[in-house]
Chain A
């Protein structure tokens, strides 16, 4: 488990902009494999690049950017002599450090959310379970404003609008040519809680029914009538990436930070819960009918 708490870490010159985090995870995985094949300990590798065991560990898990010089030295240490392979590694490392759109909002976004946006836009499958709010990718502008106001009552109007803008900009990935598959299971409470008022909620519910019809979007509702469910603890998101080497990531948002779970045992527990929730939820077609019913009652 890797807990990211904003402000709790010293600024690290190695901390890269978030875009390319998946690329970094991939490169890191490959570097770890090369290191293990070469029989080099993390300590020894750390020393080679004027760092520590923990620096190697951070690189290998994609938490930090790659300096060309470090990658170059590590490849040498691991006995990689193929020039083509070396230059491919180096050019990937460069790409992995590239910034993206949300860096513009850096002043209002906590680091952990920036990281999430990078991961979300790189995922090929996004599975989520929501117990409270409509998933950010499906929120209407007014609903998003309602949610934002809840968390930032004292914030100036301009900041609220900026935050809403980020939420909406995020939704670009729904319509891009290589849109990820989004499979969102939600508790009935999400549909019943009128964030922003009844009118805003009705519009939001109508929007939800519309996105549910997109071929790459699946929305399922777990009605109250189904009793308790497997996700007793709360909302979570599972991101899956195309690369075979990359494990799924579980993302859990908290009030002031976010938690990423990447250990297989943790991730598998959430996958299992997600599978159980998917199985106990209404079918996608019945969920749309359910949402339409709630619209009438809202």
Chain B
């Protein structure tokens, strides 16, 4: 029987998440009571009503009512959302139940790219020049008035889905038409952002916000240039190899963005660029890093007097923070680490992946996880948003880690039907 003295976490897991195992197993290890909330019912929900619940993620206020009703029977001590929609729902639930969390306005601003740009610009955070347009507008007229190169992006799709660069009016019109189809297929807002393309290397900043203060958990370089026309991500490596002043400027930019959006509590994942003009905030999400990428973040406490270390995952820090449990330490382990989101090899149906054993045998590679299943249709960017798998490596230097990721990827062969 559940022990009432154990705190209960309400974990908002969309059914399309990569994150279930990482969060569920961490919760078990911590010995807390866990309730998983999803937007679709589990087949066990009626049998285990204290452990599984369905919430309407599309309507945060209604979800908060459902959560409040649940909490009357099973008191909740913390709430965590793992994706963009879940972050908004978690914020509203936290407000309703008096739990640690973000103001709903902050979570909403982090989710909507236009609201976010507007708030950041209003607070003086450097963002690309942007305009909001509707897909019902005349594409040729917009193309004639645009500055090039520019980037067209939907307001809410994740994983750079639908994000397209245009270098001239002809490219703009083609991108506009393609983005229209993507947005219509996804059934989301018919508004888009058109913004200046910002040249320069891109980084990802992972952080945990505690009482409004950003604690930086990791700064990842993205060594493959993200110059378009599409923006499928590949390699993340930490620590960053950018000069220290650039890193400090990027972190200050992240701190300013957190303050501008009003983010108060929980994980953030921000994407920034750096060039001769300084740092640029591209996007900030009030959620942890996506996919299986959190695997590479490991936090360590070195016991004094010997080499034995305890390590903690990002999920453990997030759960502990949400429940107000002591945080063991926020310092990432010393070794370099990296992940490759395996690029989609092309459009088609996957039959098999060869060379996994050989890829795993590459020195420094810790794992190769193929998440696409045989028979699955692989869809390249910008229509797609699902990586066929992930490669993880750890080593003494970022260069060595990056080399290992590339070598392992070179040993994989995707066989399509």
Q: Is A bound to B?
A: no
A-contacting residues of B (Cβ < 8 Å)? none
B-contacting residues of A (Cβ < 8 Å)? none
